[in-house]
Structure 1
Amino acid sequence: MSTLTAPNTPETAPRDAGGHAGEARRGRRRSAALGLVAWTVGIVFCAPALWMLLTSFHSEADAATNPPSLGASLTLDGYRVFFGADGGASPWPPLINSLTASVFSTLFVLVLALPAAYALSIKRVEKWTDVMFFFLSTKMLPVVAGLLPVYLFAKNTAMLDNIWFLVILYTSMNLPIAVWMMQSFLADVPVSIIEAAQVDGARLPTVLARVVAPVAAPGIAATSLICFIFSWNELLFARVLTGVTAQTAPVFLTSFVTSQGLFLAQLCAASVVVSLPVLAAGFAAQDKLVQGLSLGAVK
């Protein structure tokens, strides 16, 4: 027997069309609400940075008003003071010291972390999970707990106020994080291309430089940027271990808090300038950073 289906009646067709239209409207409202929430969260997170930028163009009198004055006149006096136009200390030596410590420590971290991550992800050593836990355990000690031993070591070896001691220190501090990050990135590298290179006679340095590094370039970029940021922003060890010669930019910022008071406009101007290298590095590696931080998120 054949079953007969009733054709769509005029009553059911408009009902279906109305249902789809209502669902589409609800979807648009939901998307608009999510977009509004995203913009609100973004503005909340960016508001302190935007307020710092605006305050850096105010005079000290306008910056110290309570409540703050949004319509105050703009000036470059804070930036002039930061760059030593009024006879103050020059910011270039601390900026160069921070750049030296951050760049060289990041390079050393990459040179040491890439082979370690290769051994822990591709050519896994025995009990590699214990090795990973050991790297993680080095970050469990509070930084201030190791301050006195490090200071005594630097004093006894005549390494106080030496920028290269900070380079070595930042390398040791960032190496565990770099190994953990790059181990997850290198785990996604196809083993077949490594084996093909080894069949062609490539040795381990060649494999790492010409095979593994290009494939894992987004992960390496993400690791490099994070290590650079950590080194650039480090204050505690730099404040204790440096004086005049090896003073870094974060230590230089503390000079704007004096016994005469807090020079808020000058401090905001200095903070904006000190933040620019990190922002520039982030924008330069933005595409690879997004790829690197998303590696391994979807299997």
Structure 2
Amino acid sequence: MSATATAPDGAARARSARTRQGLLSLVTWALSLAFFLPIAWMVLTSFHSESDAATNPPSLAASLTLDGYRDFFGADGGASPWPSLLNSLVASGGSTLLVLVLALPAAYALSIRRVEKWTDVLFFFLSTKMLPVVAGLLPVYLFARDAGLLDNIWVLVLLYTSMNLPIAVWMMQSFLAEVPVAVIEAAQIDGARLPTVLSRVVAPIAAPGIAATSLICFIFSWNEMLFARVLTGVTAQTAPVMLTTFITSQGLFLAKVCAASLMISLPVLAAGFAAQDKLVQGLSLGAVK
């Protein structure tokens, strides 16, 4: 009797679990589409003419054209985007490299060879991110002006390094905490010094975490516009600042802005796609004990 009653109960629970799983999948797909819809709309608008892009409501059946992309690349005599893209690459890549060089030894000292009061040190790093970015805009501008560094790409490299270093130390500290101490001690017994330990032992083991940290720092630097807008002019103008040039007294060129936004986003998207396995491994490192 109990076995007969248990079978229907088990089947009912299985149907209920499948129903919940189906609803969860449906909600997940709905949220994913809701987040992706603005991107899809931007891509579609970038292939429209300015007149079609400015219609209200926008027309999905409007004819497609590459005029926005031709304008972005200066095919009709406009300004070339390559100097701005190169400036963004130098500022983002250079600052990310400096962040890794500085954050790896700091994280090593805070996770493996812990310094005294290392938790206070971590809190100090975190406290530097509590100040609103705009609050430091005027002092940074005055310093750059007095030092003759306005419209200089290297001031952005140093600035982005200082901005991303705290979050990089926090992330890499948690990643390096998962490195087996026995492996490091074995390398030290064999005579390896600290630079060798960091480059040949710690870095390969923590490669997913380092890749995740690098990608996040690169994205933050690539997308930053406030300091770049204030501290640069023509020579050191970055790609996000270049987007503001499409807003003129004649109005907003929506199709050109969408085309430029898509092209400027491609390097970050390509980097994220290429390193997605390392990013997932790095961000989930230590999540399961």
The alignment partner of 2:63 has SS state of coil
Residues 7-52 of structure 1: CA deviation (Å, up to 9, x unaligned):
xx6xx65544333332222222111111000000101111111111
Q: 1:6-25, aligned counterparts within 5 Å?
A: 15-25=5-15
2:189 corresponds to:
199
1:260 corresponds to:
250
Residues 184-239 of structure 1: CA deviation (Å, up to 9, x unaligned):
11111111100111011100000000110011111100100000000000101100
The structure 1 residue matched to 2:151, chosen from 129, 137, 161, is 161
Find the aligned partners of 2:218 and 2:242 in 1 and give their Cα distance: 18
1:218 aligns with 2:203: no
Larger CA Rg, structure 1 vs 2: 1
The structure 2 residue matched to 1:41, chosen from 28, 31, 36, is 31
CA RMSD in angstroms, aligned pairs only: 1.1
The structure 2 residue matched to 1:78, chosen from 56, 64, 68, is 68
Find the aligned partners of 1:94 and 1:253 in 2 and give their Cα distance: 10
Find the aligned partners of 1:167 and 1:89 in 2 and give their Cα distance: 24
Find the aligned partners of 2:33 and 2:5 in 1 and give their Cα distance: 42
2:58 corresponds to:
68
1:147 aligns with 2:137: yes
1:275 aligns with 2:265: yes
Residues 65-123 of structure 1: CA deviation (Å, up to 9, x unaligned):
11121111111111010000111110000001001110111000000000000001110
Gaps of 5+ in 2: none
Find the aligned partners of 2:238 and 2:220 in 1 and give their Cα distance: 13
1:4 corresponds to:
none
Find the aligned partners of 2:16 and 2:85 in 1 and give their Cα distance: 53
The residue type paired with residue 112 of structure 2 is I
The residue type paired with residue 99 of structure 1 is L
Find the aligned partners of 2:52 and 2:282 in 1 and give their Cα distance: 43
The residue type paired with residue 116 of structure 2 is E
Find the aligned partners of 1:105 and 1:261 in 2 and give their Cα distance: 35
The alignment partner of 1:75 has SS state of coil
The structure 2 residue matched to 1:132, chosen from 122, 132, 147, is 122
Find the aligned partners of 2:158 and 2:188 in 1 and give their Cα distance: 33
Residues 124-146 of structure 1: CA deviation (Å, up to 9, x unaligned):
00111111111111111111111
The alignment partner of 1:245 has SS state of coil
The structure 2 residue matched to 1:250, chosen from 224, 240, 262, is 240
Find the aligned partners of 1:13 and 1:204 in 2 and give their Cα distance: 66
The structure 1 residue matched to 2:218, chosen from 213, 228, 237, is 228
2:89 corresponds to:
99
State the identity as a percent: 79
The residue type paired with residue 134 of structure 1 is F
Find the aligned partners of 2:158 and 2:267 in 1 and give their Cα distance: 21
1:3 corresponds to:
none
TM-score (norm 1): 0.94
Q: How many residues align?
A: 289
Gaps of 5+ in 1: 1-8
1:110 corresponds to:
100
1:208 aligns with 2:198: yes
1:6 corresponds to:
none
The residue type paired with residue 131 of structure 2 is L
1:179 aligns with 2:161: no
Find the aligned partners of 1:31 and 1:154 in 2 and give their Cα distance: 56
TM-score (norm 2): 0.97
Residues 92-101 or 23-32, more deviating: 23-32
The residue type paired with residue 246 of structure 1 is A
